[in-house]
């Protein structure tokens, strides 16, 4: 358990383009989707499997199925962009939605929406948010998931600050956190440095 930095050449290359202030919304969304796919590939390494059999054109072969449902939990709004890449890898996954924003004055999370399937206790849950800054929002989401019965929880973030990663490690030492890059620090406004700016605004062209 703990924070895992997925140090892959393709991720480093795509993160570089993602940070670039000249990268437009369309390309930014595509890069977020692609990086998410690469992160999820690593995060699913320990998924439980069950044996099955399949008929090839030649003979019967032993195969494997994922044991249990998979649930993606994008944190609105920026987390929505990560779902596209995740569903390319696991198209049959269920998708919940959790709306929480960070109050810019207090930097505290404020919930405004939650929609989940029932019986999430046996599901393999992947929470998705491009930015792990203070860690307040993701800490809040994981607390909520545990309160409604979630057990097998992992967090995927693209850019992390040390402060946010440390907070999640302390609050939830039982979960794994996968990040594509660990940046330097948070500035006085709670933005990651060097970061990439406001992920939501860059994804949807709202600034």
State pLDDT tens for residues 21-37: 999 999 999 999 999 99
Give the per-residue pLDDT at 107.
67
Task: Give all domains of the chain, ordered by start, each with its CATH number.
Answer: 2-204 (3.40.50.2020)
Mean confidence (pLDDT) of the chain: 92
d(C-alpha 28, C-alpha 43), whole Å: 22
State pLDDT tens for residues 61-78: 999 999 989 999 999 888
Return the higher-pLDDT residue of 195 and 190: 195
Of the listed ranges 124-128, 134-138, 173-177, the one predicted with least confidence: 134-138
pLDDT of 207 above 90: no
Give the per-residue pLDDT at 58.
97
Give the per-residue pLDDT at 78.
87
pTM: 0.92
**Cβ neighbours, 10 Å, residue 62:** 8
């Amino acid at each position: 358990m703990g924070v895992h930095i997925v140090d892959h050449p393709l991720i480093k290359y795509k993160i570089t383009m993602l940070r670039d202030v000249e990268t437009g919304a369309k390309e930014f969304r595509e890069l977020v989707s692609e990086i998410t796919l690469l992160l999820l590939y690593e995060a699913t390494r320990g998924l439980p499997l069950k044996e099955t059999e399949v008929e090839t054109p030649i003979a019967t072969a032993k195969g494997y199925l994922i044991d249990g449902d998979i649930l993606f939990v994008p944190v609105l709004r920026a987390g929505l962009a990560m779902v596209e890449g995740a569903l390319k890898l696991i198209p049959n996954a269920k998708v919940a939605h959790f709306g929480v924003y960070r109050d810019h004055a207090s930097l505290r999370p404020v919930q405004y929406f939650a929609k989940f399937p029932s019986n999430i206790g046996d599901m393999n849950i992947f929470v998705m948010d491009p930015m792990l800054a203070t860690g307040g929002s993701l800490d809040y989401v994981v607390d909520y998931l545990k309160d409604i019965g979630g057990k097998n929880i992992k967090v995927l973030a693209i850019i992390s600050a040390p402060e946010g990663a440390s907070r999640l490690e302390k609050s939830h030492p039982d979960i794994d956190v996968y990040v594509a890059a660990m940046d330097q620090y948070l500035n006085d406004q709670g933005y990651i440095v060097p970061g990439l700016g406001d992920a939501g605004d860059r994804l949807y062209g709202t600034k």
